[in-house]
Amino acid sequence: MPTKILIIEGQKSLADMIALHLQEEGYHTELIYDCKLAIPTLMHFKPDIIVTALMFSGKVECELISHIRQFTTVPVLVISNNTLLNTRIKALDDGADDFLCKPFSLRELNARIKALLRRSGSNMLTETPTITQKLKKVRVWVNDYRHSLLVDDQEIEVTHIEFSIIKEMSCNPGKVFTRSELMDRVKGGDGAYLDRTIDVHISSLRKKIERDPKNPQHIRTVWGRGYKYEM
């Protein structure tokens, strides 16, 4: 069973990015934006680790950690843009196990989560290839005339942006595209769209064309750079 991570973060764009990244790493995530929902969600979801912010609606919520500690002993990783030493000490004294300052690397976040899980003795994600990883790749064709995809001879409907992304990537197999490059190609350089919007479309495409979206064989993540398509 995948390791379960509860994410408590009031900044929606950051919370969504963290959740998407951890899902791609194979974790099962539950995401809430309001710290008032922390305890009910904790009791229902029963996470193996908690990743929480300190700031909600502009207010430092250190008491949230001590409140969580009344119900569980699972590791708690705090992320915050408050780098004051006293704040970090207070969070650790209240029951946090680690403290990560914003801005941070997703790779560092992943490494800290793995370290906390090792120390707590929780089940880690196995590095052994799963059955789905060993399965033969599905066959994907871009049907330009019908503006759709053929996945193992089955027609799959996609949105206009999803079609533009997969067409651009499949025409350049092996090429690494940054999020900005992909957005420029599909939206003509319209600056109104955020880079992270691409992540949402990529996640949707993986669900439609991959045998196992959590272990993609076609649309691969190149950490720190972007995405590439493999035939």
> CATH top-level class for 131-229?
mainly alpha
State the CATH class of domain 4-120. alpha beta
**Residue 124 pLDDT class (50, 70, 90 cuts):** very low
Highest mean pLDDT among 134-138, 176-180, 188-192: 176-180
For 23-54, b/e burial (b = at least 16 CB within 10 A) is bbbebebbbbeebeebeebbeebebbbbbbbb
Decide whether 4-120 matches 131-229 in CATH topology.
no
pLDDT of residue 180: 86
Domain spans in the chain, listed from the N-terminal domain onward: 4-120, 131-229
When pLDDT is cut at 50, 70 and 90, the band that residue 57 belongs to is low
Of 25, 24, 29, residue with least CA distance to 4: 29
Band of residue 6 on the pLDDT scale cut at 50, 70, 90: very high
73 contacts 97 by C-beta, under 8 angstroms: no
Answer yes or no: is pLDDT of 123 > 60. no
Q: In sequence order, what DSSP letters do the residues of 157-168 get, joined into one string? A: ---HHHHHHHHH
Percent of the chain clearing pLDDT 70 (strictly above): 84
Q: How confident is the model at residue 51 (pLDDT cuts 50, 70, 90)?
A: very high
Q: 3-state class of 85 per DSSP?
A: helix
Structure pTM? Answer: 0.54
**Long-range own/partner contacts, residues 26-30 (CB < 8 A, 24 or more apart):** 26/2, 26/125, 26/214, 26/215, 27/2, 27/3, 27/113, 27/125, 28/1, 28/2, 28/3, 28/4, 29/4, 29/5, 30/4, 30/5, 30/6
Model confidence at 227: pLDDT above 50: yes
Q: How many CA atoms lie within 13 A of 131 on its CB side?
A: 0
**The one-letter amino acid at 189:** G
